[in-house]
Structure 1
Amino acid sequence: MRRVVAAINMTLDGSCDHTAGLPDPDIHNHYRELLSEGGSILYGRITYQLMEYWRTFLENPSEEKSMNDFAIAIDKIPKIVFSHTLRSVDWKSASIASKDLQETVLELKAQPGKDIFVGSRSLILQLMNLRLIDEFQLCIFPVATKNSMPLFAGLEVRTLLKLVQTKVFEGGAVILYYEPKNES
Structure 2
Amino acid sequence: MKKVIAAINMTLDGVFDHTAIQPDEEVHQHYTDLLKDSEVILYGRITFELMKYWQTFLKDPSEEKSMNDFAIAIDQIPKIVFSNKLKDTDWDTARLATQDIEKEVLALKESSEKDILLGSRSMIIQLMKWDLIDEYQFCVHPLIAGKGLSLFEEMHDRTLLKLIKTKIFSSGAIILYYEPLRG
TM-score over 0.5 (shorter chain): yes
The one-letter code sitting in structure 2 at the alignment partner of 1:151 is: L
Residues 129 and 156 of structure 1 are in contact (CA less than 8 Å); yes or no, is this contact kept in structure 2? no
The 5 Å alignment of 1:102-113 reads 102-113=102-113
Partner of 2:131: 131
The Cα shift of 1:18 comes to 1.3
3-state SS of 1:19 partner: helix
Distance 2:156 2:110 in 1: 25
Residues 13 and 148 of structure 1 are in contact (CA less than 8 Å); yes or no, is this contact kept in structure 2? no
The one-letter code sitting in structure 2 at the alignment partner of 1:172 is: G
The Cα shift of 1:159 comes to 1.1
Partner of 1:161: 161
Distance 2:156 2:131 in 1: 11
Distance 2:177 2:146 in 1: 26
Partner of 2:96: 96
Partner of 2:122: 122
3-state SS of 1:8 partner: strand
Q: Percent identity?
A: 57
Partner of 1:180: 180
Cα deviations across residues 128-155 of structure 1 (Å, max 9, x unaligned)? 0000000000000111112221111111
Cα deviations across residues 27-76 of structure 1 (Å, max 9, x unaligned)? 00000011010000000001001100000000100000000000000011
Distance 1:39 1:73 in 2: 12
> Structure 1 runs of 4+ off > 6 angstroms?
none
The Cα shift of 1:96 comes to 0.5
Cα RMSD after superposing both structures: 0.8
Residues 164 and 178 of structure 1 are in contact (CA less than 8 Å); yes or no, is this contact kept in structure 2? yes
Residues 39 and 112 of structure 2 are in contact (CA less than 8 Å); yes or no, is this contact kept in structure 1? no
Gaps of 5+ in 2: none
Residues 35 and 73 of structure 2 are in contact (CA less than 8 Å); yes or no, is this contact kept in structure 1? yes
3-state SS of 1:150 partner: coil
3-state SS of 2:139 partner: strand
Residues 48 and 81 of structure 2 are in contact (CA less than 8 Å); yes or no, is this contact kept in structure 1? yes
Gaps of 5+ in 1: none
If the length of structure 2 is used for normalisation, what is the TM-score? Answer: 0.98
Residues 43 and 119 of structure 1 are in contact (CA less than 8 Å); yes or no, is this contact kept in structure 2? yes
Partner of 2:30: 30
